[in-house]
């Protein structure tokens, strides 16, 4: 039997798919309704091969009947998360960062070129964090920003490994304007390699750590200037979205900005510390007598 035909007959047992959905929803916040079953099974086949198991039935038994779940969870999460990202994705956010946010934050930093902290809170393979780094490094060169540091976090260890390596296929960096490609991307020495790497100058200012946005608190600074949390809230239910937004808001300095994905919104989140200043961009108000003021 060819591998393709074998896979056609290879499925998770119903009880194992249900159990996987429950684990993922409770630990990661992502819903896996029955409509996602084929996608999940397709992605888990590489784990079946990596573990040398006979198929998805055996994978379910390995997880739930043979106590394999604890060791496998990290890989299970890698398989079920959707990591689509791009350089300069939703470019209006980076234009806002360059044209509005830095100027406003400069005032909050006493009128001097600011030292900025940026957090990419669902960083995937790092394109969002390095895009912000390119924009801010240009502003450092122009004397408008003193320094910056960028933290990228994600729940998936696999994407974090790629983000730290900062190596991408040439086609993937096409959205980066050519002058920035010249300044911030290095071609591989081997011309047969169609890969580029972010320059050490930028890499030094960006680092990555694992964080589950479902955690009750985040062990990071509470004076962040700009948080990107884009294209992840859509996977969470409403209650989880509200909790995540409220925690993120508590990490912004007064006047700091939160950028959400273009199909995401704070509407009805009950987080009154943030006000809308542009589509999907929110700004933290100043605390006045413990209460929020814009
Ligand atoms: C679609 S990508 C978005 C990447 C980037 N923010 C962008 O907009 O291009 C969503 C990312 O969220 C991550 N993610 C999903 N659930 C998460 C959670 N509970 N905590 C942290 N990251 C999570 C996934 O691993 C994935 O890399």
pLDDT at 268: 84
pLDDT at 289: 43
96-to-45, 79, 91, 209 alpha-carbon distances in Å: 42, 33, 9, 26
Active site residue 78: no
Q: Where are the domains of the chain?
A: 3-80, 91-293
pTM > 0.85: yes or no: yes
- CB of 282 within 8 A of CB of 257? yes
Would you say domain 91-293 falls under CATH 3.40.50.150?
yes
Ligand 1 centroid, distance to 220 Cα (angstroms): 18
* Residue 136 CB partners (closer than 8 Å, separation 6+): 97, 102, 116, 118, 145, 148, 150
8-to-41, 58, 79, 196, 250 alpha-carbon distances in Å: 11, 15, 19, 37, 48
* Parallel, antiparallel or unpaired: strands 281-284 and 286-288: unpaired
Catalytic residue, chosen from 78, 154, 225, 230, is: 154
pLDDT tens digit sequence for 150-174:
999 999 999 999 999 999 999 999 9
Pick the CATH number of 3-80 from 3.40.50.300, 1.10.155.10, 1.10.10.10, 3.30.450.40: 1.10.155.10
Active site residue 192: no
25 ligand 1 Cβ < 6 A: no
34-to-15, 26, 48, 125, 271 alpha-carbon distances in Å: 12, 16, 20, 28, 32
Ligand 1 centroid, distance to 194 Cα (angstroms): 26
Q: Do domains 3-80 and 91-293 have the same CATH topology?
A: no
Of the candidates 13, 2, 20, the one whose C-alpha atom is nearest the C-alpha of residue 55 is: 13
pLDDT tens digit sequence for 77-125:
999 999 999 999 999 999 999 999 999 999 988 899 999 999 999 999 9
- CB of 117 within 8 A of CB of 147? no
pLDDT at 269: 86
- The answer, yes or no, to whether residue 182 has pLDDT greater than 90, is yes
Q: How confident is the model at residue 5 (pLDDT cuts 50, 70, 90)?
A: low
212 ligand 1 Cβ < 6 A: yes
Please state the rounded mean pLDDT for residues 220-230: 97
Q: Kindly tell me the burial class for residue 199, based on how many C-beta atoms sit within 10 Å of its own C-beta (0-12, 13-18, 19 or more).
A: middle
Stretch (H or E) spanning 242:
helix 238-249
Averaged pLDDT score across all residues of the chain: 93
The residue behind tokens 């949390």 is 229
Of the candidates 227, 215, 198, the one whose C-alpha atom is nearest the C-alpha of residue 123 is: 227
Dihedral of CA atoms 50, 55, 58, 59 in degrees, nearest 10, equals 50
85-to-31, 132, 173, 285 alpha-carbon distances in Å: 20, 14, 11, 30
């Amino acid at each position: 039997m060819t591998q393709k035909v074998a896979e056609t007959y290879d499925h998770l047992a119903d009880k194992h798919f249900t159990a996987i959905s429950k684990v993922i929803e409770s630990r990661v916040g992502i819903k896996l309704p029955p409509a996602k079953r084929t996608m999940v099974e397709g992605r888990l086949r590489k784990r079946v091969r990596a573990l040398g198991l006979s198929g998805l039935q055996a994978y379910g038994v390995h997880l739930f009947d043979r106590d394999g779940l604890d060791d496998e969870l990290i890989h299970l999460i890698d398989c079920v998360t959707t990591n689509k990202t791009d350089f300069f994705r939703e470019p209006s956010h980076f234009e806002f960062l360059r044209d509005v946010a830095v100027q406003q934050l400069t005032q909050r930093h006493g009128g001097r070129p600011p030292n900025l902290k940026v957090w990419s809170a669902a960083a995937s393979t790092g394109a969002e964090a390095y895009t912000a780094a390119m924009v801010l490094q240009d502003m450092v060169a122009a004397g408008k920003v003193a320094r910056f540091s960028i933290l990228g976090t994600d729940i998936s260890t696999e994407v974090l490994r790629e983000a730290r390596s900062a190596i991408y296929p040439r086609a993937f960096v096409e959205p980066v304007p050519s002058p920035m490609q010249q300044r911030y991307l290095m071609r591989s020495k081997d011309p047969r390699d169609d890969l580029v790497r972010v320059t050490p100058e930028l890499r030094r200012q960006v680092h990555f750590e694992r964080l589950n946005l479902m955690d009750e608190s985040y062990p990071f600074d509470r004076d962040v200037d700009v948080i990107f949390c884009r294209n992840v809230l859509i996977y969470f239910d409403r209650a989880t979205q509200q909790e995540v937004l409220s925690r993120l808001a508590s990490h912004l300095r007064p006047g700091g900005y939160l950028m959400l994905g273009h199909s995401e919104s704070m509407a009805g989140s009950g987080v009154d510390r943030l006000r809308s200043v542009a589509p999907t961009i929110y700004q933290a108000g100043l605390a006045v007598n413990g209460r929020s003021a814009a």
